[in-house]
Amino acid sequence: MRETKWILIVLTLTSLLAVIAFYVVQNVIIMPFGNAIAEYQAIYDPSQGKLVEEYIFHISSSGKYRMLYRVWKAPISIRDESAPIKVKSVVCPEGTIAYVKDFKGKLYVLNENVPTWIVDKIYELAEVNEIGCYFPNRIPAGVYKLRIEYEFYPPVEYDGNYYHLNIKFADEHIPYSKVDIRILIPGKSIRLLYVHVPAYNVERGEDYIRIYGSSLKNVLLEVELVFEKSENEEYKFNIEPVDYDVIKATKRANLGYMLTYKLIRTISYIALGINTAFPIMALILYLIKGKERKFTVPEYLSYVPNRNRKPWEVNLLFKADALTMDEDAFYATLLDLKRRGIIDIEIVDDDIIVKIVKSAVSEPLDFYERKVLEFIRTWGKNNTLSFKRLQRIAKDGEISLIRILANELGELLNTPYEARKHAEKYVEKGVRNAFIALAVISFMLLLIILTQIKTMSRLYFPSGRILGVSLATLLGQSIICAIPPSQVFGRWKKSFYKEKLEWDAFRNMLEDFAMIQKYRPEDLVIWKEWLIYGTALGVGENVVKAMKMLNIEVPEAPLVILAPRIIRSTYGTMVSRGGVKGGKGFGGGFG
């Protein structure tokens, strides 16, 4: 595939991920959803010591739930005057049973003539400090209203000048599609106001403050105030005198949380911005580090572009990634050594017999060819190697022997260090490693986010979720950019890119039977070259099929099809027997 196609795919996929991330952030992770969702409204008047809560429950699944309820973390009661929260009335949907289970675990059923078995069932299901409505026949899908009125006397710190009030309206709860809280304290008297989480909206009126918005499941809903005593109002609190400055203490207590929240929010939006800009950054990197000069090369070439290239070298540089080799380098090298008279290849009864027939050669052997010949000597007998013998060793040999075989075979089927260094003579180092590093960093950060998902969602909504989505998107975008061959975000040195295009054109010809027929050579030597270099480029089987259809006889040609079957079977057996390690193969407030 040409580099322009690779970069087009990269830009398309990274842009698609950016769009998906933006959509998810705007329309999914911040939107309450579920079988049970509520609208929550509350009005708290501290001058009257009165709190009124109203829930409108939207139930989408019939028969799944028995109760609509709310639970306080602070003590509640009906009759005990010592409790800071005293329930005055509970209004439930018609046909349901209202109840209160106080801080001592005592159950109050507010309906008359309720059967004992229902009372027992409510007692069994209800938690301490719970107020709710029980449905004897479970809850049908629909909309239901629950209204609770309290005498509400929260504990308040007072330093002689200012009150410090902290009310936790919700902690563990179902999603709220609407939140609307009014606290009837004059806005001008408020010196400090903290809403946990800060994602809620705040409105300051002349005689009230309003907190509104929406909330996902279990997102904290807490209001913390420092305000001065009004000249015209007497507030009904459980006052706790303190000898320290409540303004300074409250600022100090919120400093760490607010800084962390702002930091996570900033990082989350920076990450989301990187997601959005990532395709543009990838394009810029390609233009700077990867875009090649234009060369005019025909779509098809019928001749070997450079006969001085060894087959393993062609496999390394021009088959796929310019820094990696695969098993085809091994098979093509065997065919080339046969053509040069250094080895003989015989196909006998689905076995491949390779024999070294010339130990001393006039031309020097390179490091890879020496490895191939050394492998034949080591694992064969009398310089003759049977591929079936490798299968027998893998099946019946000692594990220690299998591990040695796997290691030495792996050096031939994968990319040796020397080959990678050789490739660097032709290709400049690009930014692929940077994308890999970015993917690793994104993955590690995402793991941290996922291990802390409850805390992040509860205390740092929505920034924690946005950060998680952004990191997941960045991970995907980085992987997409790391997948193309290294030369896509790198650059060929000198004019080697022209040679790469020529090898591509040669492969195009070998992949097309009509073109093979058109350029069909009469010389068997050329057919052997096509077979060798076609195998190196990964299209050897096409050449073998064409030779068969055109009745071209090359005795060693079946090696191209048979060798991969035997080698892969051998490798699979070694893996199943545990001889291959690592799977290496081919290529809080009140309330």
Domain that holds residue 15: 3-28+269-289+430-486
Is residue 436 a contact partner of residue 417, using CB atoms and an 8 Å limit? no
532 and 504 in a common domain: yes
Q: How many residues does the chain have?
A: 591
What are 54-63's pLDDT values in tens digits?
A: 999 999 999 9
CB neighbour list of residue 412: distance below 8 Å, 6 or more residues apart: 329, 330, 368, 371, 372, 375
Instruction: Please state the domain count of the chain.
Output: 3
What are 379-438's pLDDT values in tens digits?
A: 999 999 999 999 999 999 899 999 999 999 989 999 999 999 999 899 987 888 899 999
133, part of any domain: yes
For residue 565, the SS3 value is helix
Q: Give the CA count within 13 Å in the CB-facing half-sphere of 416.
A: 21
Q: Strand 427-428 vs strand 491-492: parallel, antiparallel, or unpaired?
A: antiparallel
What percent of the chain clears pLDDT 70, i.e. is strictly above it?
97
**Nearest Cα to 140, choosing from 177, 96, 101, 186?**
96
pLDDT at 20: 96
41 and 16 in a common domain: no
pLDDT at 441: 95
Q: How far apart are CA 145 and CA 150, in angstroms?
A: 17
**Nearest Cα to 183, choosing from 173, 174, 197, 195?**
195
Q: What is the dihedral of CA 134, 136, 139, 144, to 10 degrees?
A: -50
383, part of any domain: yes
Bigger pLDDT: 459 vs 151: 151
What are 527-545's pLDDT values in tens digits?
A: 999 999 999 999 999 999 9
540 and 396 in a common domain: yes
243 and 181 in a common domain: yes
What are 272-329's pLDDT values in tens digits?
A: 999 999 999 999 999 998 888 888 999 999 999 999 999 999 999 999 888 899 999 9
| Residue 80: CATH number of its domain | 2.60.40
Average pLDDT over residues 358-367: 78
408, part of any domain: yes
192 and 91 in a common domain: yes
pLDDT over threshold 80, residue 343: yes
CB atoms within 10 A of CB 50: 16
457 and 534 in a common domain: no
591, part of any domain: no
pLDDT at 33: 84
pLDDT at 229: 81
What are 64-113's pLDDT values in tens digits?
A: 999 999 999 999 999 888 889 999 999 999 999 999 999 999 999 999 99
Is residue 109 a contact partner of residue 130, using CB atoms and an 8 Å limit? no
Is residue 139 a contact partner of residue 65, using CB atoms and an 8 Å limit? yes
Q: How far apart are CA 369 and CA 560, in angstroms?
A: 18
Q: How far apart are CA 136 and CA 208, in angstroms?
A: 40
75 and 52 in a common domain: yes
DSSP 8-state class, residue 286: I
pLDDT at 120: 96
Is residue 539 a contact partner of residue 508, using CB atoms and an 8 Å limit? no
Q: Give the CA count within 13 Å in the CB-facing half-sphere of 412.
A: 21
Is residue 169 a contact partner of residue 225, using CB atoms and an 8 Å limit? no
246 and 285 in a common domain: no
Amino acid letter at 3?
Answer: E
pLDDT over threshold 70, residue 584: no
543, part of any domain: yes
195 and 71 in a common domain: yes
What one-character-per-residue DSSP string does 184-217 give?
-S-GGGEEEEEEESTTSEEEE-SS-EEEEEEE-T
pLDDT over threshold 70, residue 580: no
Q: How far apart are CA 401 and CA 486, in angstroms?
A: 35
What percent of the chain clears pLDDT 90, i.e. is strictly above it?
77
pLDDT over threshold 70, residue 362: no
Q: How far apart are CA 61 and CA 34, in angstroms?
A: 10
222 and 87 in a common domain: yes
Q: Give the CA count within 13 Å in the CB-facing half-sphere of 306.
A: 17
340 and 197 in a common domain: no
pLDDT at 429: 79
302, part of any domain: no
Of 486, 510, 529, which residue is a domain's last? 486
pLDDT over threshold 70, residue 587: no
122 and 20 in a common domain: no
What are 1-41's pLDDT values in tens digits?
A: 678 899 999 999 999 999 999 999 988 888 888 899 999 99
